[in-house]
Amino acid sequence: MEETRPVDVQVLINEHPFSPFQRLIFAMCFLIVLMDGFDTAAIGFIAPSLLQEWHIGKAALAPVLSAALFGLACGALLSGPLSDRLGRRVVLTSAVLLFGVSCFGSAFAFDLTQLTTLRFITGVGLGAAMPNAVTLMSEFCPDKRRATIVNLMFCGFPLGAALGGFLAAWMIPHFGWRSVLLFGGAVPLLLWVLLMLKLPESIRYMVAKRQPAIKIRKVLVQISASANSAESFIMRETVEHAAGSGGIRIALSRSFLVGSLMLWLCYFMGLVIFYGLVNWMPVLLKEAGLSPQRAALVSALFPLGGVGTVLCGMLMDRFNPNRVVAAAYALGAVSVYAIGQAVGNLGLLMCAVFVAGGLVNTAQASMPALAAAFYPTAGRGTGVAWMLGVGRFGGIAGSFLVAELSRQQVGLESIFTVVAIAGAVSCVALLIKQATSSSTAAVESSERESLVH
């Protein structure tokens, strides 16, 4: 009797249309990222009401605002190795439950200590959810559409933040600031129930961990009925890694070390730009002579500019992804520099801010897809999560950088020039990653790992 040939899971995914099952996975991951954006931004929307009700100064609110940022970094750094060891599904569902419960509990906080603690725990859940949603989704995507699909999913984050602003504007006058946190906790809890019922484990993770063929077949048959007759499955990695290694060992191994460091540096510098400008641009423009209303209006154009994320994903799928994203950072750096030169002309200033926001936000939103494609399955969860986790400290550094430059009374043009340098550094980092990856590929092009069971 002729032995049935093993099924290559990625080949099967590549050869079949994007199925309703994969669309369901996309929808669930999109909702996770959407609520991640909502809950991350929630504290900023309720801050004015919180100050008024608790009769506290702005300085007293600083620990609450920064607690989630530190939580985000911790959650990402911890969750990556866990997802490579325990699986994407268990870590992702646990993260959604954690940030849902803690955000819901934040609505019942009655002092700053309680709220700070709960915001930190919320941040841990949020930081763990994002990279695992990216990793899981990427492992269900066909190769030729992976960046486009992952970038489209990542659009949920800014949409969630925007949704938070609109809902907060309506809910706070009617129900108070606590209602925003109740909503931000209740929806993830309902989503968690759906995830427990419908979210599968990653196909590639199950093959990498040599799980029983019946479990793999049960998931894969929902993509293609042809998998129903398969008795064994294989997976071929495009890059060699040491057998039995995983997690951070892969990310810091000789083959991936330079690329990992460049991804971390790139994402770090991108968040230096984003948080430095989002947090300080209204103040800087007001000090440059704009009215508070105009300064707020112009500054709001920066986070709204990330409309090119899907287009960037399509370009990444068609051309060299490192160079595509590096070009976005380079053009973003030029645009950030142009903001400082255009302050005297309102029309040019608005254009410069919008274009800079579009390029920088598009580049940042494309980084998870870039990282997911760089690492093999055994280290993908850690690779994506650590890039996001290390990068979070760039957000903290960006805020402190602009604050210190302002305190030193550095001129407006010079401040934007310094911030623009971060974009140039990100561009160079990706070009270095591309150069070292090409060198590694030239040496290892004939070596591919097959996992069979």
Residue 452 included in any domain:
no
Amino acid at 224: S
- Give the other-Cβ count within 10 Å of 218's Cβ: 14
Residue 77 included in any domain:
yes
Residue 453 included in any domain:
no
H-state helical runs in 199-305: 203-208, 213-220, 248-251, 257-287, 292-300
Q: Which of 179, 204, 220 is the C-terminal boundary of a domain?
A: 220
With a cut of 50, say whether residue 2 has pLDDT above it.
no
With a cut of 90, say whether residue 228 has pLDDT above it.
no
Which one is predicted more confidently, 15 or 97?
Answer: 97
- 371 and 315 co-located in one domain: yes
Q: What is the pLDDT of residue 168?
A: 80
Structural contact between residues 129 and 96, judged by C-beta atoms closer than 8 angstroms: yes
H-state helical runs in 87-177: 88-106, 112-138, 146-154, 156-175
Q: What is the pLDDT of residue 237?
A: 65
Residue 31 included in any domain:
yes
Residue 24 included in any domain:
yes
- 173 and 262 co-located in one domain: no
Residue 443 is encoded by which pair of tokens? 């040496």
Residue 264 included in any domain:
yes
Residue 241 included in any domain:
no
When mean pLDDT is compared over 42-51, 116-125, 220-229, 289-298, the highest value belongs to 116-125
- 333 and 405 co-located in one domain: yes
The pLDDT of 8-27, averaged and rounded, is 90
The pLDDT of 49-69, averaged and rounded, is 77
> For the whole model, what pTM was predicted?
0.81
Q: What is the pLDDT of residue 173?
A: 86
Backbone phi and psi for residue 234, each to the nearest 5 degrees, phi listed first: -130, 165
The CATH number assigned to the domain holding 82 equals 1.20.1250.20
pLDDT digits (tens, 9 = 90+) for 73-84: 899 889 888 888
Q: Which of 204, 220, 236 is the C-terminal boundary of a domain?
A: 220
- 271 and 203 co-located in one domain: no
Q: How far apart are CA 261 and CA 437, in angstroms?
A: 12
- Domain containing 85 equals 7-220
- 199 and 307 co-located in one domain: no
- 170 and 287 co-located in one domain: no
- 135 and 274 co-located in one domain: no
- 280 and 216 co-located in one domain: no
| Beta-sheet strand order (sheet of 7-8) | 7-8, 233-237, 449-452
In this structure, the dihedral spanned by the alpha carbons of residues 233, 239, 244 and 248, taken in order and rounded to 10 degrees, is -130
Structural domains counted in the chain? 2
Residue 329 is encoded by which pair of tokens? 């950072």
Query: To the nearest whole number, what is the mean pLDDT of the chain?
Result: 84
- 214 and 293 co-located in one domain: no
- 176 and 288 co-located in one domain: no
Structural contact between residues 64 and 43, judged by C-beta atoms closer than 8 angstroms: yes
- 215 and 263 co-located in one domain: no
**% of the chain exceeding 90 in pLDDT:** 29
Structural contact between residues 83 and 91, judged by C-beta atoms closer than 8 angstroms: yes
Residue 396 included in any domain:
yes
pLDDT band at 225 (very low <50, low <70, confident <90, very high): confident
Q: How far apart are CA 21 and CA 132, in angstroms?
A: 18
Least confident window among 65-69, 253-257, 314-318: 65-69
- 376 and 439 co-located in one domain: yes
pLDDT digits (tens, 9 = 90+) for 304-340: 655 678 888 888 889 899 999 999 999 999 999 999 8
Residue 184 is encoded by which pair of tokens? 């931000």
SS3 readout for 172-189: HHHHCCHHHHHHHHHHHH
With a cut of 50, say whether residue 452 has pLDDT above it.
no
